[in-house]
Structure 1
Amino acid sequence: MSRRPRILDGGTATGLQAAGIPMLEPWLTSAPLRDAAGTDALVKVHAEFLESGSDIVTANTFRANARALTRMGVPEAERAAYVRRAVTCAERARTAAGTPHALVAASVAPVEDCYTPALTPDDDTLRREHAWMAGVLGDAAPDLVLVETQCTRREAVIAVQAAVRHGLRAWVSFVVTDEATLPDGDALDEAARACVDAGAAAVAVNCLPLAAVPRALERLTGLGVPVGVYPNLEDRTALDQWEHSAHTLPPALSPSAFADLAHGWAAAFGPAFVGGCCGTTPAHIGALADQWKEEAAS
């Protein structure tokens, strides 16, 4: 890791929504993977984040697991192609943006739901489904796998183990509550430690409320691996905590305010990578990158 934190990208869904692609069931973020026009739009979204200063671009595999693709009606023989296509789009964006040293991270989400632990399948099902995803990603060969928005220790560990078995570099990130615990009440530090023991090379929190970031980062220190954070920046005051919105929500912070806040986290906790989740635009990432450039030049 460089002296300043590496900069993640922002919300892929947010970028797609801004491009006029709503997040509608059952496709959600996988909608652009259906045709050339969609993949071109996705490449543009990725490239805008890279051009703004992202060091890591997250391939749009978040909702391209076997379970989600089955619900979308994708034939079994075609499912792996959706995963590979998503990774290829991120690689195309890296070339288009002229950022050859940026890393491509493949997203691995919970197979069922990011915010409802009770929906998490049994261990045998998780092992089977994450083994499929890891196997496809092993062939696609991204620079790393980001096991993210995990709401249970159990699934996070199984997903990390599957990635490691297929020779993939795995980072893990949890979604947490206002109190910086997992949605099922599990302790964040204990869940993260279990994933490190399973082979995770870095741990993080994402899609969490801004107010919970300091507590979460504090609980991730001392694990012996790099730590990161990429919070939810949407203004969700009109919605329930995890309520889905098909269309763009306004950001809770301006780009400059987010950059100031993230700079404070970096100073206080020394995270190795920082970015944003839902609601985070290229302007937010650009402000973050610019602030660290200014600091380096001073």
Structure 2
Amino acid sequence: MSPRPRILDGGTATGLQAAGIAIAEPWLTSAALRDAAGTDALVGVHAQFLRTGSDVLTANTFRANTRALSRMGVAEDEHADYVHRAVDCAVRARRDAAAPHALVAASVAPVEDCYTPALTPDRDALRREHRWMAGVLADSEADLVLVETQCTRREAVIAVEAAAERGLTAWVSFVVTAEATLPDGDALRDAARACVEAGASAVSVNCLPHAAVPRALELLGDLGVTVGVYPNLEDRAALDEWEHSTHSLPPALSPAAFADLAHGWATEFGLGFVGGCCGTAPEHISALAARRPAGATS
């Protein structure tokens, strides 16, 4: 592997489930933020990914937007505490794993559902809620904002703009179909270009089947910014394309097979970062990191 690409971590939900944290509605991954036992487990998940080769940690803010927290029954004056708690867990893991070089990326997900674009709120609501999140993150120790698993151009652009208004570094990542379009049928390249114009310094795709990766990456070239990928590694053969699952699914790829594919993508497309999301375990990250030349740094 080229020395250049950074290695992302794997699935936060996957790691929490392995640590014994139940991932169930309505809390899902935010269940780990409710008490000290949960945050300790989350720190352990982050630290394990660092120790096996990750140099970008995704803070567990995915389900910590104000809309989701309200549905969980969290009082409004406690919402920012959950965001800070999630970022602090990643920062603590970076310290515990003695990995000062690692970046902490605060996850910014769609305020509704990643796979159901029809639920995306209107522009005024999106601007209000993403500006709130950006403001909270600007007061945290996150190194960058990862606007991820986005299913509409409209929300992705607004989230990137909110981050840029606060002077935050923003990466953006889209979930796409097997045909490499957004779930609402929008063109991936057009959506990515709009986000670059809004201030994104990197574009990516995530939570897509590994077989769909090459086509998606072909569409992200020559936009003048860093490109990355972190696919879904779960075996989802028994599920519909966008069906949610709250129980642990086996990986569709072995660590060695994933490392071979990711190495190939990084080389062919000149990626700036590569990793995995759902179903990606520390063993997958370890196998990928082993492909990095001796002495290479990101």
Q: Judge same fold: TM > 0.5, yes or no.
A: yes
Give the equivalent residue in structure 1 for 2:80: 80
Q: Which amino acid aligns with 2:32?
A: P
Q: Which amino acid aligns with 2:235?
A: D
Deviations 1:184-234 (A, max 9, x none): 110100000000000001000000111110001000000000000000000
Q: Which amino acid aligns with 1:152?
A: T
Q: Which amino acid aligns with 1:219?
A: L
CA distance in 2 between partners of 1:64 and 1:295 (Å)? 37
Please tell me whether the aligned partners of residues 59 and 89 of structure 2 are also in contact (alpha carbons under 8 angstroms): yes
Please tell me whether the aligned partners of residues 3 and 293 of structure 2 are also in contact (alpha carbons under 8 angstroms): no
Q: Which amino acid aligns with 2:158?
A: I
The reply on whether 1:276 has 2:276 as its aligned counterpart is yes
Matches within 5 A, 1:1-298: 3-293=3-293
Q: Which amino acid aligns with 1:210?
A: H
Unaligned runs of 5+ in 2: none
Please tell me whether the aligned partners of residues 233 and 251 of structure 2 are also in contact (alpha carbons under 8 angstroms): yes
Please tell me whether the aligned partners of residues 4 and 292 of structure 1 are also in contact (alpha carbons under 8 angstroms): no
Per the TM alignment, residue 34 of structure 1 is displaced from its structure 2 partner at its CA by 0.5
**Which protein has the bigger helix share?**
1
Q: Which amino acid aligns with 1:46?
A: H
Q: Which amino acid aligns with 1:50?
A: L
| Runs of 4+ deviating beyond 3 Å | 293-296
Please tell me whether the aligned partners of residues 188 and 219 of structure 2 are also in contact (alpha carbons under 8 angstroms): yes
Unaligned runs of 5+ in 1: none
CA distance in 2 between partners of 1:70 and 1:111 (Å)? 11
CA distance in 2 between partners of 1:110 and 1:49 (Å)? 25
CA distance in 2 between partners of 1:240 and 1:16 (Å)? 24
CA distance in 2 between partners of 1:126 and 1:279 (Å)? 29
Per the TM alignment, residue 295 of structure 1 is displaced from its structure 2 partner at its CA by 9.7
CA RMSD, 1 decimal: 1.3
Taking structure 1 as the reference length, the TM-score comes to: 0.97
Please tell me whether the aligned partners of residues 174 and 206 of structure 1 are also in contact (alpha carbons under 8 angstroms): yes
3-state DSSP of counterpart to 1:285: helix
Aligned residues: 296
3-state DSSP of counterpart to 1:208: strand
Q: Which amino acid aligns with 2:29?
A: T
Q: Percent identity?
A: 78
Per the TM alignment, residue 4 of structure 1 is displaced from its structure 2 partner at its CA by 2.9
Per the TM alignment, residue 119 of structure 1 is displaced from its structure 2 partner at its CA by 0.4
Deviations 1:67-125 (A, max 9, x none): 00000000011110000000000000001111011000000000000001000000000
CA distance in 1 between partners of 2:95 and 2:68 (Å)? 29
